[in-house]
Homo-oligomer: A and B are copies of this chain.
Amino acid sequence: VRSYCQYCSVAKALDVVGDRWTLLIVRELLLRGSCRYTDLRNGLPGIATNLLAARLRELEGAGLVRREEAPPPIATTLFSLTPRGAELQPVVEALGRFGIPYMSAEPAPNDEFRGPWLSWPAQIYLRDREPAMPAVAIELRTEGGSTTVEAGAGELRARPGAATNPDAVVSGSPPAILRLLSGGLAQGEELSPELELDGDLRALRRVLPRAESTAA
């Protein structure tokens, strides 16, 4: 809330989004698009409810978040990013990329996890490596929820939630799935025994990074 009082664009940006929790709220809104207060609270384990309300008001005042009162039949308020707020995506992505190395360690014993958070590593590691083939959907499933990866025509995007008709479903612990996303699968290599695959292995290979075969 307190300004750095520096006429510098980096400092001015941090004046707006530098407070604690603010960029994590933006992360959730980038992932989920438009969601209710309770959805945000659930996607941000550890946040105090008064802080979430305060941050949302600040972001709204800064023109980064929009609050929509849904029509009477639904009777709920929806929060979403304004176009200006969506311009924070490069910031959150750069942070996500910088933070990737910290994920190779096992999660701390009291670390929480939510499935949609896999979207950031997925967008970083995965590519559509066979653009000519018809589109596929792959679901990454953990005990904390699912992320669905859709690849087609050379494009790839990740969104929270389960897929309706996935070509492949990979289940396992978050670190095991991360190792798969970052390390890929070498030619003829089998899936790690920590993971379980249901569906088409070729659909999975299509998006995974190429790994050198372990043998020379």
Contacts and interface: CB of A to CB of B under 8 A. Distances in A.
- Which residue of A13, A15, A16, A95 has the most chain B CB atoms within 10 A of its CB atom? A95
If over half of A's interface residues share one DSSP class (helix, strand or loop), that class is named, otherwise mixed; here it is helix
A112 B6 contact: yes
Contacts of A216: none
Nearest to A109: B5
Interface residues of A, number: 48
Interface of A: 3-18, 20, 23-24, 27, 45-46, 87-88, 90-100, 102-103, 107-108, 110-114, 117, 120-121, 174
28 contacts: A5-B45, A5-B110, A5-B112, A6-B46, A6-B111, A6-B113, A6-B114, A7-B113, A7-B117, A7-B174, A8-B117, A9-B97, A9-B99, A9-B117, A9-B120, A10-B92, A11-B24, A12-B99, A13-B98, A13-B99, A14-B24, A16-B102, A17-B98, A18-B20, A18-B23, A88-B98, A93-B94, A94-B94
